[in-house]
Structures are given as structure tokens and as C-alpha cells.
Amino acid sequence: MRFLSQLSLLLVLCVSSWALHESDVGVVDWHKKLIGVPLSGSISTAPTFHATGNTTVVITATDNNVLAVLNPEDGSVLWRYIFNPEDRIASFFKSKDRVAVLSGPGGATLRTFDALHGHLIVEKQLHSPQLAILSEPHYLGKFVVFSPKLRDLYVLTNGHTVSCIDGDTGGVKWAWSSPDQTSLVIHTHLLLTNDAIYAVGAAKSIASYTLHVSVLFPTTGELLASANLPSSIANPLREFMVLTRDDTDSTHAIWLENGLIKSLLLTPKLSNKPSTVKGAGYAQILDVGLSEHGQLVATREDGASRVLKLDEDGLSLTSLWQFENSARSKDNADSIYAGGLDGLGRPYVSRVFWSHKHEKGSTDIFAGHLGAGNELGALFPFDTKFHGVINHVAIDASHTPSGGVVARLLITTSSGAIQLWQEGDLKWTREESLATTTLAEFVELPERVASEANLRIGIEGFVSRVIRQISDAQDFPQYVFNFVKRFVTGSYASASSPASVPSSANETPSRDAFGFRQVIIAATAFGKVFGIDSSNGEILWSRVLGLGWAAEIGGRIHPVKLYVTRTVSDGGDPEVVLVTQRRAENTLVDTVIFHINAVNGEDVRRTSKKSDVFEGLDIIQGPLVEGFLLQTEPKAVVLLDEFLQVYLYPNNAATQATFAKVSSALSFPLRTNVEGRQRIQGHQILLNSEVSDKPVAYTTWSLNLPPSESIQQLLPPASRGPVASIGRVLGNRTTLYKYLNPRLFTVLTVSPTTNMCGLYLVDSTKGTVVYHVQIKGHGGCNIKTALTENWLVYHYFEGEVADGDVGGAKGYRMVTVELYEGEVVDEKTSSSDMSSFSEKSLQLTAYEQAFVFPHAITALAPTSTKFGISSKDLIVATKNHRIQSFQRAMLNPRRPKRKVTAEEAEEFLIEYDPILPDDPHRVLSHNYEVANVQRIVTAPALLESTSLVFAFGLDMFLTRVAPSNTFDVLSENFNKAQLVFTVSGLLLAIMITRPMVERKRLREKWYQ
């Protein structure tokens, strides 16, 4: 028996290992390594070119909390460092070969990296996060200055503490803290000269802010002087900056005061008085990244702009250049200014704007070292309809021997794209908004069919397919010969080979033989929707979602729901409906629908051309409360506004008639707050209402939670695929029938007073709690759940399941629950067809088991197949950036806690082990680093054995798995020729022996 148990365990662990071979990497999977959309709001986090040695790189921080370095030649990621969510990047600063980053509350942690290779050199916590002084924006009060002679760093944190850090060891040489502790003064900049360190900031006054400077001795940190200097600054974030000039060792504080630019030369005794730059009517001063080279850009109220520079003596600020022809007009968008250096350290200043007149981007570049009058202009074909507007520009320029300037522009767009342009040519584009994907769904592609005239792409109906097959079979011998040739030589699609792709970029995508090639519709938080080829990860199409009337005042589009409303089986191209919330700058919220052709991204409503911004339908003047898809014919999207009025899309006679037939059977839960207590209330649809001319939802039941519990999350019923078996036959020939209730939804609750978390499975028709568990929460209730058929899996940290098998010890837990009909085996209640109001609806048995899980996870999902015949694996994304699969047999809650009996061995049950094995052979992501996965989506292929797995978050990853092995596909090394010859030989033998047998029988009859 022990041998049989071990053999069963070995067989279970070996199932589906075909997908994990090293040879499959890049064949059956793909990986998109993303960094996120750059944080372009501050110069201390925005993308910038940086020359280290003979190599130029692009450094940026992103809103996914990533510090990344890109190769400007092709846009590839040289290295990236992913910070934890609680360790938010505040700012980064660069020297020749190093990058320093301050992160966390108040800039609590300092890290330095090798700029080219990303090696972590120093990691030092400068203060406890609990002692941080929070400020907005987050970068305020954090600054780093590199010592030019030593490896030391001078670091400003919390807005009031300056530290001298050893750049090699991270040791603190000295630290100084302002006595004010930011109650009235917050320091924002550090400047280093040979004689002093200047901590410059702003002090609060009655009407405005006053310039404040603290002077420290570089060697000891001794305070030399501290004073509020005569000034009046309205907004220190936009109207104040510092300039230095290395060749003169001079340092200036620059600020804007009543339309005048004022400058103050800083000295250790703070004895100088401010001077005023010639000219008035200035609107803003801009740090374009050349502050260490004594240059800035100042714009006037009429839109004109000037480049200002510290003079040769470093004593005053003078005008160096004025950009001709104001870019602020009805023909041009607002200008964006950027500064950069060439290989010799010479500065360049660029002005970039979008020209409505030319419908192109325009750039003007000023190079001061070329002499007066050297401004170079050029146009580049930036497509604002596909990428939005330009949000940020970084420049890298070089001087050619002929006297020209070759400039590279790195552009960040409002749609989240990063582009590099050189001399009007687009070199590469990174669609980093994909790192903010919130919704994604698989959509099957139509198959590729051939017409008599030529190849065309479309849908081939049943009748046309039969006619074509009959036509192909008219020459029967040739048909048989071609079939045998394809079979023997393998000249057909293989299940382990990449899905086929179009031979031409203009060719419409079509399905491959096994259905591995599908379209992934991905909607992002930056108002852009993509169609991604599931076979290779390439973007088939993308559309910018329009703001409608809010385009004039600005706003954002937030995806909420994504429904597949038409599939290839319905005829025609597949379609999806994207439901979004439009939040305008004036705080108005509307619900907008976008109806999209999944194959080519066109507007199904035909109100927007493919070359234009995609404009949606304003369906609700207000926020969306709930929405769901009616799986009827025709399909319809049902939406509810804040008054629980019902809206249909499409709203026509057919959908209204269908909705009227099924409305009485609809029931759904909503979160409510009644008299200060959170509740779950069930609702149904009332078609005829005296209150409104629209159908209205009304309350049918209410689930009252304990007073100390609040609702953390309400998860809608999981979409249930086909169920191949409704029961499980046990080893003793009895049967456990699955409890299949499609109306179950999950509620997660949290109780701050008792430090307990709750998980409820509730019937949406009458609010009955089917399953409930209380979990001890430690540091929050971060519970991940997955529900399919009668199987519930949830994961949490350090908890203790009531009456559980694994409790008390700290660590991660994975709990698996299976629900079966009745209270004993062989009891069948037909739960899938039973009404929720039946007295037998609560006659069920829950089998549950807890396991110690090796890692924290960020997402989990079960596999899904076309007919539900294959067993289901659990796919999890771990915090160590891996995608891993766990077999259903390992998570079976009926695993015995003793030696397996013969009857249990027949069910392939294995002995219970409280620790789930961390098997590297079950890692689907191979050696890829799939970072910060937020959700896993699975979809069936045409092969019943195979399921597609798509994970997205910071990165994107897709692979395909076969939980029950590829039982419906011949293996690659199967000897097809031998099979054909064997069958042919048997057929030939039958043809030869059959006449002989008949003659023998005839002779026997004569003798009879």
C-alpha cells in the first residue's frame, strides 16, 4: 500500500509537466517587461537622458513605483528596481556613474545604484517611517547632492534633516535637524559649494511664503547661519528654484514675485540682497534640468519665453535667448520646455508643442554655445489621435561637424506611451499604460476561410463549410492521398508550436487550428484600450477613449466593466462593450459605453472613424452602481444608476422584449449603508414603476452584518463554464454530488475592533449564507479568493481558521473548500436546477482543509477548458514574481491524515501534508520575472485539454497549460508513418484473406 501511495503521488506530480520544458520558453508563452507610466509631474522623477561613461541611458521613475533605466537605441529595459507599495519613490538624483533614490514617508530610505548595470550599492534607512512628516507633493523636502571630490552624499529628508552619508558604506558621518521641525519652515533644496551647504526652502508667513536659508559647514554639519530673507513667494512649488554654476562656484536662489524674477546670490553669511532681472510680466519660471549649469526658462503672460543664464562671473541672471513666435495661440497647444547636454557637457534647450495648423509636433532647439541666433526648428508626425497629448519631453542633443544639431526627443504622452523621435523619425514606442490594465478578456477570433477567387477573412457558416468539404472530396483518391501525406509528414499545425500569425501586417487576424490565437481586450487606467494578439503579445490595434463634452475642460476615463457581447458563434466579428466612468475636472461623473469590434478596434456604433479618437455613448448622467450582462439572445448589458434605475444597451425592441421575459428571474446584491451600518441587500427588477418610466430595482432581502464588521469587498458570482460531471464517484462506489449554485457571490468583511476578517458565501436570490468563516487578521485582511463550480479557494496571512487544521503558527495559508449536495453521500438535490427558495437549498456539506503556503500571492484563478472535462489547476501569482500552478489533487480537502487505503488510492487521493510543496517544476513563468501581477484570466482553447493563462499587473505574461495532459493530441514523437503502414497492412491482409475464407466456407457447405 505504501508503494501504491508513493506511485500515485509521483503520477500526480508529473501530470502536465510538458508545458514546463525549457524548450517551450518563448514558444508557448510570451512576456512583456514593463516599467509603468513615467512620473512626469516633477523633474526629480521625470524621464531624463544621462551619460555614464561612453553610454547614454534614460532614467525615470514611474507611477508603478519602479525606477527604470532604458536603452535609448531600442527602448529595451536595461534594468529596473521595483519598490514595495509602502515604499513610494519620492525622487532620484544622478551623478556620473550612480543614481540615488529617496523613497518612503519623508524620504525614509536612501538607495544608490550603479547607473549602467543597476547593482545596489547602498541601502540605508535614514529615519523610521513612523517618524516621517508627510507632505504633498510627495517629492517635497527630499533632495540629494553628490560630493564632486568624495563619494559622500548630502541628503535632505523630512524637509528639515540634512545628513552626510558615506557613498560606499552608507554610514552616517553627521546629521543636522532644523529646530523648527517644519512647523513653519520646510527645506526643499540642497546646494553644495566649497565653503558651505545651503538648505533652501520656504517659511510660512501671513500672506505668502518667505525664502528661508540654512547654511551648514560641509565637514561637520555645523550651522553657520539661518535666516528668512526678504521675499514674497505665492507658490513655492512653481515660483521658486535654485541655480548653480560649477565653474564659478556660485549659487543663486531664484523666485517669482508679482511678475518679476528675483535672484539672490547665496554666501555663508547671507549678507547679500536680492536683485531683479530686467523685464516684467513673467508668468512662471521652469527648471528644465539645467539648474546645475546656471540656466532656466521663464515664460511671460503673453506666451513668449526666454532662456535665462547666470553670467560669466556668476553674480547676476541675464537673458540669453528668446524663442521667436509665441507658441501660445489657437493654432498651437501649450509649449513644453526641456533641457539636455551633449557628450561634451554643453547645454541645449528645446521647446516642443503640438501644431493644430500643421497637425504635427513642432520642436525648436537652442544651443547657446553656437552663438546668437542659433535656433533650429523641425516638425515631427506625432499622432495625437492615437497617443493623446504630449505631457513631458526630455532632450538629448549632439553637435554635428557641419554645424547642425542632431536631437533625440523622448516624449511621454497622456495615454501612457513613451516615444523616442530623432530628426522627425519615430524610433520606438513603449505602451506603458499596459502596466495600468484594469480589465482584460479573451475573445475568440474568426477562422480563416478561402473563397473561389482568393483568400478572404471572415466567418464560414455550417452550410458553406459542408459545401466546401464536398467540393474538396470530389477527387477522392487525391483527397485521401493528401490527407495521408499531411498525417504522415506532420504538415499540419502542432499543438506545441506557436500559433500561426498573418503573413501580412495588413491581413485581418484569424484563428489558428487549436484556438490558441485569440484577441485579448485590455482596458487601461489611462483611457486607452488595446487588442493584443494572444499568440505573441503584439498589439493588433489600440484606441484612445474620447472624453466627449469633457474634452474642453479635461477629465479621465476609468474602465469599470468589460463584456463580450458577440462571439464568433453568433456570426460576424466578435464584439465587446466597455463600460467606463468619465470623471471631468469639474467633478461631474458620467457613465459612458464604448462598443468595440474586437478584431480591428472599430466603433460598432459607427460614430467614430478608426483614425479618430473613439467617442462613446453617454448612457447614464451620473455614476454606475452595478452592471451585468444578460446571457440571452440577443445579449444585452444591464446598468443601474444611483437611483437604481435600469438602462439597457443596446436599447431596442428585441433587447426590451428579452429583458421583459427574464427580469423576474434576475437577482443581484448591492452594498448599502443604512443608519450607519453596512449591509448587503438583494434586489430584483420592477418593470412598471409609478416612480420612474424606466425599470427600477427594488430590495427583496437584507443581510445584516455584525455591528463591528464593515464590508471590505463584494465579489460578484463567478462566470461558470460548462460542467462535464455533476458528481464525484468515490472508491467505495458511492457518489458525492456537486453543489452547483450559480447565484453564489463572495463577501469579505473586516472588523477593526476585534481584528477579525470574515468570508461569506451568499445566495443572491434570498441572502442565505451558504458558507462562513472567521479569520484572525494581522495587519489587515488581504484575502485572495477564487470560486468555480463547487470549489472555493482562499489565501491569507497569519490567520487562524475557526476549527481549522493548521492554526496558530504564523505564515501564509491556503484553504480549499468543496461543497457537495446533501448531508450524506449519495444524497442528490439537483442544486443546479433547484430554486433558492426550496427547503433543500441549504442541505449541503462543506469539506475544507488548510495548508501552509510557501509564499504571499497577489492573484489566483482556476483554469478553464471548453467542455469542462479536464481537471482544474489553480494558477497563482506570487510576490516573488512567479506564476505557479497547483493541481486540484494537491488541494483536495478530502486528503486523509493517515495512510491511504485501497479505495482512496482508486480516487488518486494522497496523504495529507500541511505544507504545499514549492515545486519549481510547477513554475509556469520559467525564468521570467513577472512582477506585481494584479489579476489572472484564464480562457479555453479549442483543445479540451488546454487552457490559456494570462496574467497582468506591472508585467504581462501568457502561457498555456494542460491540467490533465494533452490527452486529445498525439505526441510529437508519435510514429504516424508506422500507424498508417500498420493500418494499411491490416487492410491489405483483410482484402487478401477475405476471398480465401469465403472459398473455404463454400467448400465446407458442399461437404455438409
Q: What is the pLDDT of residues 598-623, one digit of tens each?
A: 999 999 999 988 888 999 999 999 99
Given 659, 676, 704, the domain boundary residue is 704
Does residue 56 fall inside a structural domain?
no
According to the model, what pLDDT value does residue 256 have?
92
Kindly state whether residues 739 and 657 are assigned to the same domain: no
Kindly state whether residues 332 and 319 are assigned to the same domain: no
Say which residue, 328 or 56, is predicted with more confidence: 56
3-class DSSP assignment, residue 482:
helix
CB atoms within 10 A of CB 435: 28
Q: Report the distance separating Cα 750 and Cα 744, nearest Å.
A: 20
CATH of residue 221: 2.130.10.10
The separation between the first and the last C-alpha atoms of the chain, rounded to the nearest angstrom, is 59
Q: Report the distance separating Cα 757 and Cα 777, nearest Å.
A: 6
Does residue 809 fall inside a structural domain?
yes
Residue 199's contacts (CB-CB under 8 Å, 6 or more residues apart) are 156, 162, 178, 187, 189, 190, 213, 214, 215, 216
Kindly state whether residues 818 and 742 are assigned to the same domain: yes
Does residue 998 fall inside a structural domain?
no
Kindly state whether residues 674 and 723 are assigned to the same domain: no
According to the model, what pLDDT value does residue 496 have?
66
User: For residue 348, what are the domain limits?
Assistant: 328-415
- CA atoms within 13 A of residue 144's CA, in its CB half-sphere: 29
According to the model, what pLDDT value does residue 507 have?
73
Mean pLDDT on 927-931 = 93
Out of 45-49, 93-97, 266-270, 394-398, the most confident range is 45-49
Kindly state whether residues 365 and 402 are assigned to the same domain: yes
Given 828, 853, 878, the domain boundary residue is 853
Does residue 574 fall inside a structural domain?
no
Q: What is the mean pLDDT of the chain?
A: 87
Does residue 372 fall inside a structural domain?
yes
Does residue 669 fall inside a structural domain?
yes
Kindly state whether residues 793 and 829 are assigned to the same domain: yes
Kindly state whether residues 212 and 293 are assigned to the same domain: yes
Does residue 727 fall inside a structural domain?
yes
According to the model, what pLDDT value does residue 803 have?
43
Q: Which residues of 888-909 are buried (b: 16+ CB within 10 A; e: fewer)?
A: bbbbbbbbeeeebeeebbbbbb
Kindly state whether residues 311 and 185 are assigned to the same domain: yes
3-class DSSP assignment, residue 10:
helix
* Residue that is written with C-alpha cell 557641419 in the block: 402
Instruction: Classify burial at 458, counting beta carbons within 10 Å of its beta carbon; exposed 0-12, middle 13-18, buried 19 or more.
Output: middle
- CA atoms within 13 A of residue 220's CA, in its CB half-sphere: 3
Kindly state whether residues 191 and 300 are assigned to the same domain: yes
Number of domains making up the chain: 4
Does residue 783 fall inside a structural domain?
yes
According to the model, what pLDDT value does residue 491 have?
56
Q: Report the distance separating Cα 491 and Cα 73, nearest Å.
A: 40
Kindly state whether residues 221 and 307 are assigned to the same domain: yes
Residue 814's contacts (CB-CB under 8 Å, 6 or more residues apart) are 793, 794, 795, 850, 851, 852, 853, 891, 916
Helix (H) or strand (E) holding 386: helix 384-387
% of the chain residues with pLDDT over 90: 55
Q: Report the distance separating Cα 164 and Cα 172, nearest Å.
A: 6
Q: Report the distance separating Cα 332 and Cα 567, nearest Å.
A: 44
Angle among Cα 513, 439, 640 to the nearest 5 degrees reads: 120
Tens of pLDDT, residues 854-888: 889 999 999 999 999 999 999 999 999 999 999 99
Mean pLDDT on 294-321 = 85
pTM for this one? 0.90
For residue 455, pLDDT over 60 is answered with no
Q: Report the distance separating Cα 798 and Cα 779, nearest Å.
A: 9
Given 682, 704, 726, the domain boundary residue is 704
For residue 171, pLDDT over 70 is answered with yes
Mark out the alpha helices in 209-261 (DSSP H runs): none
Mean pLDDT on 823-834 = 88
According to the model, what pLDDT value does residue 457 have?
39
Kindly state whether residues 696 and 730 are assigned to the same domain: no
Among 306-315, 333-342, 528-537, 914-923, the minimum mean pLDDT is found in 306-315
**Contact by Cβ (8 Å): 755, 777:** yes
Kindly state whether residues 664 and 720 are assigned to the same domain: no
